[in-house]
Copies of this chain bind each other. A is one copy, B any other.
Protein backbone atom coordinates (compact mmCIF):
# COMPACT_ATOMS: atom_id res chain seq x y z
CA UNK A 1 0.00 0.00 0.00
CA UNK A 2 2.89 2.36 0.84
CA UNK A 3 3.52 3.63 -2.65
CA UNK A 4 -0.14 4.55 -3.18
CA UNK A 5 -0.60 6.60 -0.02
CA UNK A 6 -0.42 9.80 -2.04
CA UNK A 7 -3.77 8.86 -3.52
CA UNK A 8 -5.60 8.93 -0.20
CA UNK A 9 -8.01 11.76 0.34
CA UNK A 10 -7.30 14.10 3.22
CA UNK A 11 -10.10 12.84 5.45
CA UNK A 12 -9.24 9.20 4.81
CA UNK A 13 -5.55 9.84 5.48
CA UNK A 14 -6.31 11.79 8.67
CA UNK A 15 -8.44 8.94 9.98
CA UNK A 16 -5.75 6.37 9.05
CA UNK A 17 -3.02 8.34 10.85
CA UNK A 18 -5.23 8.82 13.90
CA UNK A 19 -5.96 5.07 13.96
CA UNK A 20 -2.25 4.29 13.67
CA UNK A 21 -2.76 2.51 10.34
CA UNK A 22 -0.33 4.71 8.43
CA UNK A 23 2.39 7.09 9.47
CA UNK A 24 2.76 10.71 8.46
CA UNK A 25 6.29 9.89 7.37
CA UNK A 26 5.09 7.25 4.89
CA UNK A 27 2.35 9.55 3.63
CA UNK A 28 4.70 12.48 3.13
CA UNK A 29 7.28 10.18 1.50
CA UNK A 30 4.65 8.92 -0.92
CA UNK A 31 3.75 12.52 -1.83
CA UNK A 32 7.43 13.39 -2.27
CA UNK A 33 7.95 10.33 -4.49
CA UNK A 34 5.01 11.34 -6.62
CA UNK A 35 6.33 14.92 -6.78
CA UNK A 36 9.79 13.70 -7.84
CA UNK A 37 8.15 11.81 -10.66
CA UNK A 38 5.68 14.48 -11.82
CA UNK A 39 7.13 17.89 -10.96
CA UNK A 40 9.61 18.04 -13.87
CA UNK A 41 6.69 18.44 -16.25
CA UNK A 42 4.05 19.84 -13.90
CA UNK A 43 5.90 22.80 -12.33
CA UNK A 44 3.39 23.10 -9.50
CA UNK A 45 5.80 24.15 -6.76
CA UNK A 46 7.34 27.52 -5.98
CA UNK A 47 9.17 26.06 -2.96
CA UNK A 48 9.67 22.54 -1.71
CA UNK A 49 12.11 21.28 0.89
CA UNK A 50 11.72 17.47 1.04
CA UNK A 51 14.06 17.06 4.01
CA UNK A 52 12.22 19.66 6.09
CA UNK A 53 8.87 18.09 5.17
CA UNK A 54 10.07 14.63 6.19
CA UNK A 55 11.50 15.98 9.42
CA UNK A 56 8.11 17.58 10.23
CA UNK A 57 6.35 14.30 9.41
CA UNK A 58 8.70 12.33 11.66
CA UNK A 59 8.06 14.79 14.44
CA UNK A 60 4.30 14.38 13.97
CA UNK A 61 4.69 10.62 14.18
CA UNK A 62 6.51 10.95 17.50
CA UNK A 63 3.87 13.25 19.00
CA UNK A 64 0.41 12.57 20.35
CA UNK A 65 -2.30 13.57 17.88
CA UNK A 66 -2.53 17.36 17.99
CA UNK A 67 -5.64 17.93 15.94
CA UNK A 68 -7.79 17.05 12.98
CA UNK A 69 -4.97 17.40 10.45
CA UNK A 70 -2.30 15.55 12.37
CA UNK A 71 0.49 14.48 10.06
CA UNK A 72 -1.34 15.57 6.89
CA UNK A 73 0.77 17.21 4.17
CA UNK A 74 -0.68 20.44 2.80
CA UNK A 75 0.33 22.76 0.00
CA UNK A 76 0.07 26.52 0.42
CA UNK A 77 -0.48 28.99 -2.42
CA UNK A 78 2.49 31.29 -2.64
CA UNK A 79 0.63 34.53 -1.81
CA UNK A 80 0.05 33.09 1.69
CA UNK A 81 2.83 33.90 4.17
CA UNK A 82 4.92 31.18 5.80
CA UNK A 83 7.54 31.94 8.44
CA UNK A 84 9.81 29.06 7.41
CA UNK A 85 9.50 29.19 3.63
CA UNK A 86 9.81 32.01 1.10
CA UNK A 87 6.61 33.71 -0.09
CA UNK A 88 7.14 35.30 -3.47
CA UNK A 89 3.57 36.06 -4.68
CA UNK A 90 4.49 34.95 -8.20
CA UNK A 91 6.40 38.19 -8.68
CA UNK A 92 10.11 38.93 -9.24
CA UNK A 93 9.62 41.86 -6.83
CA UNK A 94 9.45 39.39 -3.96
CA UNK A 95 12.00 36.83 -5.08
CA UNK A 96 13.41 35.18 -1.97
CA UNK A 97 11.13 37.16 0.37
CA UNK A 98 10.96 35.60 3.84
CA UNK A 99 7.91 36.66 5.88
CA UNK A 100 8.26 36.97 9.62
CA UNK A 101 5.11 35.01 10.35
CA UNK A 102 2.70 32.34 9.17
CA UNK A 103 -0.61 33.50 7.76
CA UNK A 104 -3.49 32.74 10.13
CA UNK A 105 -4.71 29.84 7.97
CA UNK A 106 -1.26 28.24 8.02
CA UNK A 107 -0.99 28.70 11.77
CA UNK A 108 -4.43 27.14 12.28
CA UNK A 109 -3.51 24.18 10.05
CA UNK A 110 -0.28 23.69 11.98
CA UNK A 111 -2.12 23.98 15.30
CA UNK A 112 -4.11 20.99 14.03
CA UNK A 113 -0.94 19.05 13.27
CA UNK A 114 -0.63 19.64 9.52
CA UNK A 115 2.73 19.35 7.77
CA UNK A 116 3.24 22.20 5.31
CA UNK A 117 4.82 20.43 2.35
CA UNK A 118 5.67 23.52 0.34
CA UNK A 119 4.43 26.54 -1.59
CA UNK A 120 2.48 26.24 -4.82
CA UNK A 121 2.75 28.41 -7.90
CA UNK A 122 0.39 31.36 -8.14
CA UNK A 123 -0.10 33.73 -11.02
CA UNK A 124 1.54 37.12 -10.39
CA UNK A 125 -0.16 38.49 -7.23
CA UNK A 126 -3.04 36.10 -7.99
CA UNK A 127 -4.02 38.09 -11.10
CA UNK A 128 -3.64 36.92 -14.69
CA UNK A 129 0.08 36.52 -15.56
CA UNK A 130 0.68 32.78 -15.26
CA UNK A 131 3.52 30.81 -13.76
CA UNK A 132 4.99 27.72 -15.43
CA UNK A 133 2.43 25.21 -14.10
CA UNK A 134 0.86 22.79 -16.58
CA UNK A 135 -2.50 21.01 -16.39
CA UNK A 136 -1.89 17.42 -15.21
CA UNK A 137 -4.75 16.16 -17.42
CA UNK A 138 -3.00 17.51 -20.51
CA UNK A 139 0.33 19.26 -20.15
CA UNK A 140 -0.27 21.47 -23.18
CA UNK A 141 -3.21 23.13 -21.41
CA UNK A 142 -3.39 25.70 -18.64
CA UNK A 143 -4.29 24.47 -15.14
CA UNK A 144 -6.23 27.73 -14.74
CA UNK A 145 -5.36 30.38 -12.22
CA UNK A 146 -4.58 31.96 -9.98
CA UNK A 147 -4.33 28.96 -7.61
CA UNK A 148 -2.58 27.09 -10.43
CA UNK A 149 -0.07 25.01 -8.52
CA UNK A 150 -2.56 24.16 -5.79
CA UNK A 151 -5.10 22.75 -8.28
CA UNK A 152 -2.49 20.89 -10.34
CA UNK A 153 -0.77 19.38 -7.31
CA UNK A 154 -3.99 18.11 -5.75
CA UNK A 155 -5.33 16.81 -9.08
CA UNK A 156 -2.14 14.89 -9.77
CA UNK A 157 -2.10 13.36 -6.25
CA UNK A 158 1.05 15.19 -5.24
CA UNK A 159 -0.67 16.30 -2.04
CA UNK A 160 -4.16 15.65 -0.64
CA UNK A 161 -5.13 19.31 -0.13
CA UNK A 162 -3.97 22.84 -0.77
CA UNK A 163 -4.88 26.35 0.29
CA UNK A 164 -5.95 28.71 -2.45
CA UNK A 165 -7.62 32.11 -2.65
CA UNK A 166 -10.19 33.69 -4.92
CA UNK A 167 -10.83 37.33 -5.83
CA UNK A 168 -12.54 36.57 -9.18
CA UNK A 169 -12.41 32.84 -10.06
CA UNK A 170 -9.03 31.73 -8.70
CA UNK A 171 -10.22 28.62 -6.87
CA UNK A 172 -13.25 27.45 -8.87
CA UNK A 173 -11.72 27.79 -12.36
CA UNK A 174 -8.42 25.95 -11.79
CA UNK A 175 -10.19 23.19 -9.87
CA UNK A 176 -12.69 22.82 -12.70
CA UNK A 177 -9.88 22.72 -15.28
CA UNK A 178 -7.88 20.14 -13.32
CA UNK A 179 -10.79 17.96 -12.22
CA UNK A 180 -10.78 18.48 -8.45
CA UNK A 181 -12.95 19.97 -5.71
CA UNK A 182 -12.53 23.60 -4.68
CA UNK A 183 -14.46 25.22 -1.87
CA UNK A 184 -14.56 29.02 -1.81
CA UNK A 185 -15.83 30.18 1.58
CA UNK A 186 -18.30 32.93 2.35
CA UNK A 187 -16.61 36.33 2.18
CA UNK A 188 -15.06 36.95 5.60
CA UNK A 189 -15.41 33.32 6.73
CA UNK A 190 -11.68 32.74 7.31
CA UNK A 191 -9.05 35.18 8.47
CA UNK A 192 -6.95 36.62 5.65
CA UNK A 193 -4.19 37.77 8.02
CA UNK A 194 -0.88 37.16 6.26
CA UNK A 195 -2.37 36.77 2.77
CA UNK A 196 -1.37 39.27 0.07
CA UNK A 197 -4.37 41.50 -0.52
CA UNK A 198 -5.64 42.18 -4.04
CA UNK A 199 -9.20 43.51 -3.66
CA UNK A 200 -10.45 43.47 -0.08
CA UNK A 201 -14.14 43.44 -1.08
CA UNK A 202 -13.67 40.04 -2.73
CA UNK A 203 -10.50 38.30 -1.46
CA UNK A 204 -11.52 34.94 0.00
CA UNK A 205 -9.67 31.90 1.24
CA UNK A 206 -10.54 28.38 0.19
CA UNK A 207 -9.25 24.87 -0.18
CA UNK A 208 -8.66 22.50 -3.06
CA UNK A 209 -9.14 18.80 -2.37
CA UNK A 210 -10.24 15.64 -4.20
CA UNK A 211 -13.39 14.99 -2.16
CA UNK A 212 -15.97 17.21 -0.50
CA UNK A 213 -15.43 15.64 2.91
CA UNK A 214 -11.78 16.69 2.72
CA UNK A 215 -12.85 20.33 2.31
CA UNK A 216 -15.29 19.99 5.21
CA UNK A 217 -12.58 18.49 7.39
CA UNK A 218 -10.16 21.32 6.56
CA UNK A 219 -12.85 23.91 7.25
CA UNK A 220 -13.69 22.55 10.67
CA UNK A 221 -10.03 22.31 11.63
CA UNK A 222 -9.32 25.88 10.57
CA UNK A 223 -12.29 27.22 12.54
CA UNK A 224 -11.53 25.14 15.60
CA UNK A 225 -14.84 23.29 15.21
CA UNK A 226 -14.87 19.83 16.81
CA UNK A 227 -16.69 17.75 14.21
CA UNK A 228 -18.81 14.85 15.39
CA UNK A 229 -19.65 11.68 13.52
CA UNK A 230 -22.99 13.25 12.56
CA UNK A 231 -21.29 16.22 10.91
CA UNK A 232 -19.45 13.95 8.50
CA UNK A 233 -22.67 12.49 7.12
CA UNK A 234 -23.96 13.79 3.78
CA UNK A 235 -27.20 15.76 3.63
CA UNK A 236 -30.26 13.61 4.22
CA UNK A 237 -33.25 14.12 2.01
CA UNK A 238 -33.19 15.60 -1.44
CA UNK A 239 -32.12 19.22 -1.85
CA UNK A 240 -34.06 21.78 -3.87
CA UNK A 241 -31.67 22.65 -6.66
CA UNK A 242 -32.02 25.71 -8.90
CA UNK A 243 -30.34 25.38 -12.28
CA UNK A 244 -28.90 28.84 -12.80
CA UNK A 245 -27.79 29.57 -16.34
CA UNK A 246 -26.68 33.06 -15.28
CA UNK A 247 -26.83 35.97 -17.74
CA UNK A 248 -23.71 34.56 -19.48
CA UNK A 249 -25.07 31.17 -20.56
CA UNK A 250 -24.57 31.97 -24.25
CA UNK A 251 -20.86 32.46 -23.56
CA UNK A 252 -20.53 28.96 -22.08
CA UNK A 253 -19.12 26.34 -24.45
CA UNK A 254 -21.58 23.68 -25.69
CA UNK A 255 -19.85 20.94 -23.68
CA UNK A 256 -20.14 23.07 -20.53
CA UNK A 257 -23.85 23.69 -21.20
CA UNK A 258 -24.38 19.98 -21.85
CA UNK A 259 -22.70 19.05 -18.57
CA UNK A 260 -24.94 21.37 -16.53
CA UNK A 261 -28.04 19.92 -18.21
CA UNK A 262 -26.80 16.36 -17.71
CA UNK A 263 -26.05 16.98 -14.04
CA UNK A 264 -29.48 18.58 -13.53
CA UNK A 265 -31.15 15.56 -15.13
CA UNK A 266 -29.11 13.11 -13.10
CA UNK A 267 -29.82 14.89 -9.82
CA UNK A 268 -33.55 15.04 -10.60
CA UNK A 269 -33.47 11.32 -11.29
CA UNK A 270 -31.87 10.78 -7.90
CA UNK A 271 -34.66 12.65 -6.18
CA UNK A 272 -33.58 16.27 -6.04
CA UNK A 273 -36.27 18.86 -6.67
CA UNK A 274 -34.74 20.56 -9.69
CA UNK A 275 -36.07 23.72 -11.35
CA UNK A 276 -34.80 26.61 -13.41
CA UNK A 277 -33.54 29.57 -11.37
CA UNK A 278 -33.56 32.71 -13.45
CA UNK A 279 -31.78 35.66 -11.88
CA UNK A 280 -33.25 39.18 -12.11
CA UNK A 281 -32.11 40.50 -15.50
CA UNK A 282 -30.15 43.42 -14.05
CA UNK A 283 -27.76 40.91 -12.44
CA UNK A 284 -26.13 40.89 -15.87
CA UNK A 285 -24.34 44.08 -14.76
CA UNK A 286 -22.58 42.30 -11.92
CA UNK A 287 -19.66 40.89 -13.89
CA UNK A 288 -18.70 44.42 -14.91
CA UNK A 289 -19.40 45.71 -11.40
CA UNK A 290 -17.00 43.09 -10.09
CA UNK A 291 -14.33 44.15 -12.60
CA UNK A 292 -14.64 47.79 -11.68
CA UNK A 293 -14.43 47.27 -7.90
CA UNK A 294 -11.54 44.84 -8.34
CA UNK A 295 -9.54 47.25 -10.50
CA UNK A 296 -10.17 50.18 -8.15
CA UNK A 297 -9.15 48.23 -5.05
CA UNK A 298 -6.15 46.53 -6.65
CA UNK A 299 -4.85 49.96 -7.64
CA UNK A 300 -4.89 50.81 -3.93
CA UNK A 301 -3.61 47.48 -2.54
CA UNK A 302 -0.70 47.26 -4.97
CA UNK A 303 0.18 50.96 -4.98
CA UNK A 304 3.62 50.26 -3.51
CA UNK A 305 4.47 47.69 -6.17
CA UNK A 306 3.13 49.98 -8.89
CA UNK A 307 5.07 53.03 -7.77
CA UNK A 308 8.35 51.32 -6.97
CA UNK A 309 8.55 48.34 -9.31
CA UNK A 310 6.41 49.12 -12.36
CA UNK A 311 9.15 47.63 -14.55
CA UNK A 312 8.77 44.30 -12.77
CA UNK A 313 5.00 44.05 -13.24
CA UNK A 314 3.42 42.15 -16.13
CA UNK A 315 1.77 44.27 -18.81
CA UNK A 316 -1.67 42.90 -17.88
CA UNK A 317 -1.31 43.79 -14.20
CA UNK A 318 0.18 47.20 -14.93
CA UNK A 319 -2.71 47.91 -17.22
CA UNK A 320 -5.27 46.84 -14.57
CA UNK A 321 -3.64 49.05 -11.95
CA UNK A 322 -3.55 52.06 -14.24
CA UNK A 323 -7.17 51.50 -15.26
CA UNK A 324 -8.02 51.24 -11.56
CA UNK A 325 -6.34 54.57 -10.82
CA UNK A 326 -8.59 56.25 -13.38
CA UNK A 327 -11.84 55.06 -11.80
CA UNK A 328 -13.49 57.94 -9.97
CA UNK A 329 -14.58 57.63 -6.37
CA UNK A 330 -18.18 58.26 -7.48
CA UNK A 331 -18.14 55.33 -9.92
CA UNK A 332 -16.57 53.08 -7.30
CA UNK A 333 -19.18 54.01 -4.69
CA UNK A 334 -21.99 53.49 -7.20
CA UNK A 335 -20.58 50.03 -7.95
CA UNK A 336 -20.37 49.21 -4.23
CA UNK A 337 -23.97 50.34 -3.82
CA UNK A 338 -25.05 48.13 -6.68
CA UNK A 339 -23.20 45.19 -5.13
CA UNK A 340 -24.81 45.78 -1.72
CA UNK A 341 -28.28 45.94 -3.27
CA UNK A 342 -27.64 42.79 -5.30
CA UNK A 343 -26.58 40.91 -2.16
CA UNK A 344 -29.91 41.71 -0.54
CA UNK A 345 -31.92 40.92 -3.64
CA UNK A 346 -30.08 37.64 -4.08
CA UNK A 347 -30.84 36.56 -0.53
CA UNK A 348 -34.57 37.20 -1.00
CA UNK A 349 -34.64 35.67 -4.49
CA UNK A 350 -32.85 32.47 -3.58
CA UNK A 351 -35.26 31.21 -0.92
CA UNK A 352 -36.94 28.82 -3.40
CA UNK A 353 -33.79 26.71 -3.62
CA UNK A 354 -31.29 25.24 -1.19
CA UNK A 355 -28.42 25.43 -3.64
CA UNK A 356 -27.85 26.54 -7.20
CA UNK A 357 -26.21 24.46 -9.94
CA UNK A 358 -24.25 26.61 -12.39
CA UNK A 359 -21.18 26.46 -14.65
CA UNK A 360 -17.75 26.51 -12.98
CA UNK A 361 -16.06 28.01 -16.03
CA UNK A 362 -16.74 28.80 -19.69
CA UNK A 363 -15.53 25.36 -20.71
CA UNK A 364 -12.51 23.08 -20.40
CA UNK A 365 -8.96 24.34 -19.88
CA UNK A 366 -7.79 26.29 -22.94
CA UNK A 367 -4.67 25.15 -24.75
CA UNK A 368 -1.42 26.93 -23.95
CA UNK A 369 0.26 28.10 -20.75
CA UNK A 370 0.30 31.82 -21.63
CA UNK A 371 -3.09 32.54 -20.02
CA UNK A 372 -5.30 30.95 -17.38
CA UNK A 373 -8.78 31.18 -18.91
CA UNK A 374 -11.82 33.36 -18.41
CA UNK A 375 -13.09 34.09 -14.85
CA UNK A 376 -16.55 35.06 -16.15
CA UNK A 377 -18.58 32.36 -14.40
CA UNK A 378 -17.31 33.20 -10.92
CA UNK A 379 -17.21 37.00 -10.95
CA UNK A 380 -20.84 37.46 -9.86
CA UNK A 381 -20.75 34.79 -7.14
CA UNK A 382 -17.54 36.21 -5.71
CA UNK A 383 -19.10 39.68 -5.72
CA UNK A 384 -22.17 38.34 -3.91
CA UNK A 385 -19.88 36.93 -1.23
CA UNK A 386 -21.72 33.61 -1.13
CA UNK A 387 -19.95 30.27 -0.63
CA UNK A 388 -19.39 28.08 -3.66
CA UNK A 389 -17.89 24.73 -4.51
CA UNK A 390 -16.93 23.07 -7.76
CA UNK A 391 -17.23 19.31 -8.15
CA UNK A 392 -15.44 17.20 -10.78
CA UNK A 393 -16.79 14.18 -12.60
CA UNK A 394 -17.62 15.34 -16.10
CA UNK A 395 -15.42 15.82 -19.12
CA UNK A 396 -15.68 17.92 -22.26
CA UNK A 397 -13.54 18.58 -25.34
CA UNK A 398 -10.41 16.38 -25.61
CA UNK A 399 -11.57 14.50 -22.52
CA UNK A 400 -10.56 17.41 -20.27
CA UNK A 401 -12.45 17.92 -16.99
CA UNK A 402 -15.44 20.22 -16.57
CA UNK A 403 -16.64 21.03 -13.08
CA UNK A 404 -20.13 21.88 -11.93
CA UNK A 405 -20.48 24.72 -9.46
CA UNK A 406 -22.85 24.79 -6.49
CA UNK A 407 -23.80 28.03 -4.76
CA UNK A 408 -25.01 28.33 -1.17
CA UNK A 409 -26.30 31.07 1.10
CA UNK A 410 -24.16 33.67 2.82
CA UNK A 411 -22.62 32.21 6.01
CA UNK A 412 -24.29 28.84 5.32
CA UNK A 413 -21.07 27.10 4.30
CA UNK A 414 -21.76 24.01 6.35
CA UNK A 415 -25.12 23.49 4.68
CA UNK A 416 -23.61 23.99 1.22
CA UNK A 417 -20.87 21.46 1.90
CA UNK A 418 -23.29 18.88 3.31
CA UNK A 419 -25.45 19.23 0.19
CA UNK A 420 -22.37 19.06 -1.99
CA UNK A 421 -21.67 15.68 -0.38
CA UNK A 422 -25.12 14.56 -1.54
CA UNK A 423 -24.56 15.88 -5.06
CA UNK A 424 -21.09 14.35 -5.23
CA UNK A 425 -22.49 10.95 -4.25
CA UNK A 426 -25.22 11.12 -6.87
CA UNK A 427 -23.08 12.45 -9.70
CA UNK A 428 -19.89 10.52 -9.28
CA UNK A 429 -20.25 7.53 -7.04
CA UNK A 430 -23.71 6.40 -8.01
Contacts and interface: CB of A to CB of B under 8 A. Distances in A.
Interface stretch (A21-29, A303-311, A371-379): A303-311
A411 interface: yes
A302 B102 CA distance: 10
A50 interface: no
Nearest to A87: B100
Given A200-B188, A201-B188, A411-B336, A193 B300 contact: yes
A111 interface: yes
Contacts of A197: 104, 191-193
B200 A301 contact: no
A409 interface: no
A325 B306 CA distance: 38
A301 B81 CA distance: 13
Nearest to A108: B303
A100 B94 contact: yes
Contacts of A107: 303-304, 306-308
Interface string A43-83: 00000000000000000000000000000000000000001
Given A325-B224, A329-B225, A101 B304 contact: yes
Nearest to A198: B193
A214 interface: no
A308 B100 CA distance: 12
A223 interface: yes
A194 B336 contact: no
A141 interface: no
A411 B100 contact: no
Nearest to A324: B224
Interface of A: 83, 94, 97, 100-104, 106-108, 110-111, 188, 190-194, 196-197, 200-201, 223-225, 297, 300-308, 325, 329, 333, 336, 411
